[in-house]
Structure 1
Amino acid sequence: MDPIIAASVAVALIFVLLALGTPVFAALALSGAAGIVMVENLAFLLNRLKSFSYSTTATSTLTVIPLFILMGAFAHHAQIGRRLFEVANKWVGHMPGGLAMAGILTSAGFAATSGSSVATAATVGSVALPEMRRAGYDPALAAGSVAAGGVLGVLIPPSVLLIFYAALTEVSAGKMLVAGFVPGILTTIIFMLGIRLIAGRTMQRAVLAPRSGWAERLSATTRAWQVVVLFMVVLGGIYLGLVTPTEAAAVGAVAALLMLLAELRLGVLPAIVESFRSTITTTVMILFTMLGAGIFSYFLTLVQLPQQIAGAIGESGIPPHAVVALLLLAYIPLGMFLDAFSMMVITLPIMFPTVQHLGFDPIWFGILCVKMCEIGLMTPPVGLNCFVIAGIDRQTPLTQVFRGAMWFVLMEMVTVTLLFAFPQITTFLPDMMLGR
């Protein structure tokens, strides 16, 4: 069969299977397998599949994924999120919208211990939402701010999504993690400024917390030492070239476990068991997604579709930056229906060769991809973070959560525009890395 026709049929099959409710990894795998059979034959497919799962997943680089997830689970059960919110509240709680700002700061701090957006949103939401409700905050702003804060979990290192991008594109995992730091801080600042502007219209009835003195703030800050330790162990070790990302994740997981054990609570053992269970579940989901993506990517490589698209775009005369902007905008409709991992595995086999052909920095493009995936976590109808918050806060309808999150989608677009226009914001830290 003609490769172009086979590729068109395979891509269409993906969307048909997704519409029928097929899991993403299965839709990708079945479509890729069907495409391979169309251009080769069944014997060729079976011969390739014999060792495919082992060769795709049996790499030391991927060990970092379960270790970072485990570190975040231990940190969650060690009540690090609650301590962070108390500290953030001392610093900004007295301002209009201060509790929402404190939620954003808590999300940024917890993101430094967890690579998961959902875990960050759930942890911070369980602490911050009751406080904002008691203070009379607008429910949409309260829920939307926590849903938005959760997206920092996939940007501020350690981020499982950044590692996932590195594994799919074979770029440096260490550089991807370091590259997420400054954009993460920039996103946090823009979220807080946005809340301050919104609060002027919606906070008339809210109760402002009393202003804390400097001595009280500094004293409270010392209680958040766990975040500093984990952040320095992970990102500091990678940046200085002292450890690889895998080694940093292992040390970070052990450190988080020790913090959990230091709680000396009767519920420590169940917390450890639950941490391992959630880590296994999430890791298996990610690896199965990688397998499905790998099969489909192999089919695309077989028919040379990414290379043909990259060559056609390069010869079209369209400005390179306009091409990248259009590629990124494709994530907005995809994010309405797919999760971040699925979006990456579907798009990167085609987008990444195009970006490379145009000569752009793959680290810079990776951060922009993650930012666009963040937007998908807040947009209806399948904004995962908004569903998580609606599940925690039963008093706020899902429609209100989405309404509050829309303000933060606009703020995300501002951040993406800045990162797109000034690549140095993303690349200067990775370019200064020491060692390996």
Structure 2
Amino acid sequence: MDPSFAPYIAVALIILLMAFGAPVFAALALSGAVGIVLVEDFAFLMTRLKSISYSTTAVYTLTIIPLFILMGSFAHHAQVGKKLFDVASRWVGHLPGGLAMAAILTSAGFAATSGSSVATAATVGSVAIPEMKKAGYQGSLSAGAVAAGGVLGVLIPPSVLLIFYAALTETSAGKMLVAGFLPGLLTAIMFMVGIYFIARRGDMRHAVTPRASWGEAVRETGKAWQVMVLFIVVMGGIYLGLVTPTEAGAVGAFVALIMLLMHRPSWPGMLGRIVASFRSTIDTTVMILFTMIGAAVFSYFLTLIQVPNQLAEAVVGSGLPPYLIVAMLLLVFVPLGMFLDAFSMMVITIPIMFPTIQSLGFDPIWFGILAVKMCEIGLITPPVGLNCYVIAGIDRETPLPQIFRGALWFVLLEVITIMILFAFPIITTILPNWMG
């Protein structure tokens, strides 16, 4: 078959398989396999499949993923999220929309102990939403704020998605993690400013908690020492060069386990909590690795017919301004985010886009942060916005459409934040560059 027709057949097959409910990894793998057979033959496919799964997953960098997930799971069972929300509400609960702001701060803090967006949304939602409802918050604002706050879990280090991007592009995992800190902080600030104005124009200006004294707020802050310890152990060790990212993940998971064992309220059923942590880590890690294998088969097919190289040559030779090209590439994530999860978007787009970014001479770390930010939008937009479904499972009184409606405000704030990071790359690159 003419190789020029094979991509269209493969893409059509992906859409057909997903329409019938096939998992993303299976749709990618089967479509890539069919494409390879069309271009070469079945024997060639079998030869390549013998090595693709191993070469894709037997990557040292990927060992960080289960370690970060396990660390976050231990922190969750140690009730770190509840302590963080108590601290944040003492500081900002008296402001208009203060408890929603506290949910954002809690999400940012918990994200520093967990690399998962879904885990962050679920942990903070179970703590913050009941308190906001008790204070009289609208369901759309409370649920939307927690769903949006959850996206910080894929940006503020340690982030599994940043590690995933580093593995796909062979970029420094340590520098990718460090690069996510300032953009994550900027995102949290933008969300809090947005909540303030949303609350001022709505009915939330009076739904505030009593103002805590400075002494009480400072004393309460000391109860959330676990987050600071984990952040210093993991990111401090990486930034100072004392440990590699993988070693930092192992040390962080061990420290989080010690914190769980020291948490007296968790002693009843401790073994069950530890087993649940390992089980959730295994489930999430296997899902990620299967997605990588399926995408690797499809990416190999695209490489076989030289789609990434042809795209890079066409883009570079188009005469368009380089920054306009990057903006157009980022916009591709918008429709994909309506139907795919963040990992699936990454494995489909990055192998195709990255050669173009390299040929244009852009910093891969800067582009990686922008790509992750675009994936964040997909986590809170219909119809697949995973964080909104997680919150719907926690807050059964608020209909899913209302949760999506509340999250749309934060989509706008995400767009503004991305524009700032796009216009000022130094926000992303300054910390990695200081690492040398």
Q: TM-score range with shorter-chain normalisation?
A: over 0.9
Q: What corresponds to 1:242 in structure 2? A: 242
| Structure 1 counterpart of 2:381, from 375, 379, 382 | 379
CA offsets per residue over residues 143-180 of structure 1, 9 Å max, x none?
A: 10000000000000000011111111111111110000
Contact 1:179 / 1:430 at 8 angstroms: preserved in 2?
A: yes
- In the other structure, the counterpart of 1:315 is 317
In the alignment, the residues of structure 2 paired with residue 310 and residue 17 of structure 1 have an alpha-carbon distance, to the nearest angstrom, of: 28
Matches within 5 A, 1:333-412: 333-412=335-414
User: Counterpart in 1 of 2:420?
Assistant: 418
> Which amino acid in 2 is paired with 1:239?
Y
Partner SS, residue 241 of structure 2: coil
Partner of 1:261: 261
Q: What SS class does the counterpart of residue 4 from structure 2 fall into?
A: helix
AA partner of residue 410 (structure 1): L
Partner amino acid, structure 2, of 1:345: V
Unaligned runs of 5+ in 2: none
Aligned residue type for 2:42 = L
- The question of whether the paired residues in 2 share the 8 Å contact of 1:334 and 1:343 is answered with yes
Are 1:138 and 1:202, in contact at CA under 8 Å, matched by a contact in 2?
no
Please report how far the alpha carbon of residue 205 of structure 1 lies from its aligned counterpart in structure 2 after TM superposition. 7.0
Matching residue of 2:50? 50
Q: Which residues in structure 2 correspond to 1:149-228 (within 5 Å)?
A: 149-204=149-204, 206-228=206-228
Is contact 1:28-1:295 (8 Å) kept? yes
Q: Deviations over 1:207-245 (max 9, x none)?
A: 321111111111011111100010011111111111111
Q: TM-score, normalised by structure 1?
A: 0.98
Q: Equivalents in 2 of 1:206, 1:24: separation in Å?
A: 46
CA distance in 2, matches of 1:204, 1:374: 26
The residue type paired with residue 329 of structure 2 is L
Partner of 2:295: 293
User: Is this contact kept in 2: 1:71–1:252, CA < 8 A?
Assistant: yes
Structure 1 residues 245 and 210, CA, compared in 2 at 3 Å: closer, same or farther? same
Q: What per-residue deviation string (whole Å, max 9, x for no partner) do you get for residues 329-367 of structure 1?
A: 111111111110111111112111111111111100110
2:136 is paired with a residue of what secondary structure? coil
* Residue number in structure 1 paired with 2:281: 279
Quote the Cα distance in structure 1 between the aligned partners of 2:204 and 2:79: 32
AA paired with 2:342? A
- In structure 1, the partner of 2:126 is 126
1:61-76 correspondence runs (5 A): 61-76=61-76
Contact kept? 2:199, 2:205, Cα under 8 Å: no
Q: 1:112 Cα shift?
A: 0.1
Query: Residue 115 in 1 paired to residue 98 in 2?
Result: no
Report 1:6-155 matches (<5 A). 6-155=6-155
CA positional deviation for 1:8? 2.1
C-alpha deviation, 1:48, in angstroms: 1.2
State whether residues 137 and 205 of structure 1, in contact with CA within 8 Å, keep that contact through their aligned partners in structure 2: no
Residue of structure 2 equivalent to 1:229: 229
CA deviation vs aligned residue, 1:349-396 (integer Å, no higher than 9, x gap): 211111111111110011001000000000011111011111100111
Residue 120 of structure 1 aligns with an amino acid whose one-letter code is T
- Are 1:190 and 1:415, in contact at CA under 8 Å, matched by a contact in 2? yes
Q: Provide the rounded CA distance (Å) in 1 between the counterparts of 2:358 and 2:200.
A: 45
Give, in whole Å, the separation in 1 of the partners of 2:374 and 2:45: 34
Separation in 2 of the partners of 1:174 and 1:296? 28
Task: Mark the CA change 1:204 to 1:108 in structure 2 (over 3 Å): closer, same or farther.
Answer: closer
8 Å Cα contact 2:137/2:204 also seen in 1: no
Aligned amino acid, residue 163 of structure 1: I
Cα root mean square deviation, aligned:
1.0
Q: Residues 66 and 281 of structure 2 are in contact (CA less than 8 Å); yes or no, is this contact kept in structure 1?
A: yes
Aligned length: 434
- 5+ long unaligned stretches in structure 1: none
Task: Please tell me whether the aligned partners of residues 17 and 27 of structure 1 are also in contact (alpha carbons under 8 angstroms).
Answer: yes
CA contact (8 A) 1:97 1:203 kept: no
How far apart are the structure 1 equivalents of 2:12 and 2:367? 26
In structure 2, how many angstroms separate the alpha carbons of the residues matched to 1:345 and 1:43?
A: 25
Give the counterpart letter for 1:371 in structure 2: K
Q: CA deviation at 1:59?
A: 2.1
User: What amino acid is the match of 1:316?
Assistant: S
